[in-house]
């Protein structure tokens, strides 16, 4: 008889939502099945009081979302090797159902090639799932589970074998698109990603543009994503499509100025190691409904 998958959880915090963090930790503790070991990373801030048994790491500076999560991964050993899979959860989220961890275990155990599971994010008051939180182009029905090509950063579970094989999140991204970078590398290595509507994280409805760095980093990291991962002919196509989409959406003049500044930075600043995906991965992404040109 095989042992059930061992799960850990990584939560990064800026220390400014202690009540929400405590509620999230309580919801993780309440999960059915074996205990989930939790690491809370203070990303350039002290960690608020946490329950006994929760490990903490306090960083002297804010390393950004991917940098903070990578520190949390390493708290479980090299590439998270002390556990079989890691849950990554936003510190102002909440697991409303007590069977989410068990559903994760069952999903991974049933499909050895399943590398990442992304949860449905729902507003706790209305139950509404924002369209941007459904990681596929056909996002009209958030209650439909499916195979997808990316995942949601603060509401997911990743098999640690994926991290060991393809590497961690790209720390230089700091914020935005780091999940897609990891997702593309995982898909190129033969792993699959599932969006599961029955695995829910409650999270208040927000706009991503609330972050001051949003427009610059979204643009810069789009370019980095393409430069790092796409075959050469697709790099200008992918970035060109997103340039046109941005103009069609008619952002405010300050937002557009920040976006173009990030777009320029994406071409001039180092993007890290380039490992273009195989053309068969491009075809695989296309068959999954999202060719890597949008």
Q: What pLDDT score was predicted for residue 3?
A: 81
**46/185 same-domain check:** yes
Q: What pLDDT score was predicted for residue 209?
A: 59
Domain membership flag for residue 18: yes
Q: Give which of 222, 219, 220, 234 is closest to 291, Cα–Cα.
A: 234
Q: What pLDDT score was predicted for residue 43?
A: 98
Q: What pLDDT score was predicted for residue 66?
A: 98
**270/195 same-domain check:** no
Q: Which domain holds residue 262?
A: 210-275
Domain membership flag for residue 222: yes
pLDDT per residue, tens digit, the chain (294 aa), is: 678 899 999 999 999 999 999 999 999 999 999 999 999 999 999 999 999 999 999 999 999 999 999 999 999 999 999 999 999 999 999 999 999 999 999 999 999 999 999 999 999 999 999 999 999 999 999 999 999 999 999 999 999 999 999 999 999 999 999 999 999 999 999 999 999 999 999 999 887 755 558 999 999 999 999 999 999 999 999 999 999 999 999 999 999 999 999 999 999 999 999 999 999 999 999 999 999 998
Global pTM reads: 0.96
Q: What pLDDT score was predicted for residue 289?
A: 93
Domain membership flag for residue 271: yes
Tokens of 224: 């980095």
**Residue ending a domain, choose from 178, 200, 222:** 200
Domain membership flag for residue 119: yes
Q: What pLDDT score was predicted for residue 206?
A: 81
**68/127 same-domain check:** yes
**Residue ending a domain, choose from 158, 181, 200:** 200
**10/66 same-domain check:** yes
**247/182 same-domain check:** no
Domain membership flag for residue 283: no
**Residue ending a domain, choose from 162, 182, 200:** 200
Q: What pLDDT score was predicted for residue 2?
A: 74
Domain membership flag for residue 38: yes
Count up the domains in the chain and report the number: 2
Cα 90 to Cα 119: distance, rounded to the nearest angstrom: 12
**62/187 same-domain check:** yes
**185/249 same-domain check:** no
Q: What pLDDT score was predicted for residue 113?
A: 98
Domain membership flag for residue 285: no
**238/165 same-domain check:** no
């Amino acid at each position: 008889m095989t042992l059930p998958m061992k799960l850990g959880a990584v939560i990064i915090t800026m220390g400014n939502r202690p009540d929400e963090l405590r509620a999230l930790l309580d919801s993780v503790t309440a999960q059915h099945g074996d205990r989930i070991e939790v690491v809370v990373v203070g990303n350039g801030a002290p960690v608020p009081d946490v329950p006994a048994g929760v490990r903490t790491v306090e960083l002297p500076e804010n390393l950004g979302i991917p940098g903070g999560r990578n520190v949390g991964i390493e708290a479980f050993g090299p590439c998270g090797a002390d556990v079989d899979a890691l849950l990554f959860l936003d510190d102002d989220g909440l697991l409303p159902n007590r069977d989410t961890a068990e559903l994760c275990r069952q999903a991974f155990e049933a499909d050895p090639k399943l590398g990442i599971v992304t949860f449905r994010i729902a507003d706790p008051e209305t139950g509404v799932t924002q369209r941007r939180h459904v990681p596929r182009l056909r996002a009209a029905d958030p209650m439909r589970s499916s195979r997808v090509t990316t995942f949601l950063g603060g509401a997911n579970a990743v098999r640690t074998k994926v991290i060991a094989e393809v590497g961690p999140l790209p720390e230089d991204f700091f914020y935005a698109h780091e999940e897609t970078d990891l997702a593309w590398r995982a898909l190129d290595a033969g792993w699959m990603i599932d969006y599961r509507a029955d695995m829910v994280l409650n999270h208040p409805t927000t706009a991503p543009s609330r972050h001051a760095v949003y427009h610059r980093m979204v643009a810069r990291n789009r370019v980095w994503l393409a430069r790092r991962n796409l075959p050469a002919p697709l790099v200008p196509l992918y970035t060109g499509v997103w340039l046109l989409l941005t103009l069609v959406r008619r952002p405010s003049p300050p937002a557009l100025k920040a976006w173009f500044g990030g777009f320029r930075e994406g071409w001039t600043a180092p993007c890290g190691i380039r490992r273009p995906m195989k053309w068969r991965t491009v075809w695989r992404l296309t068959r999954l409904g999202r060719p890597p040109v949008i």
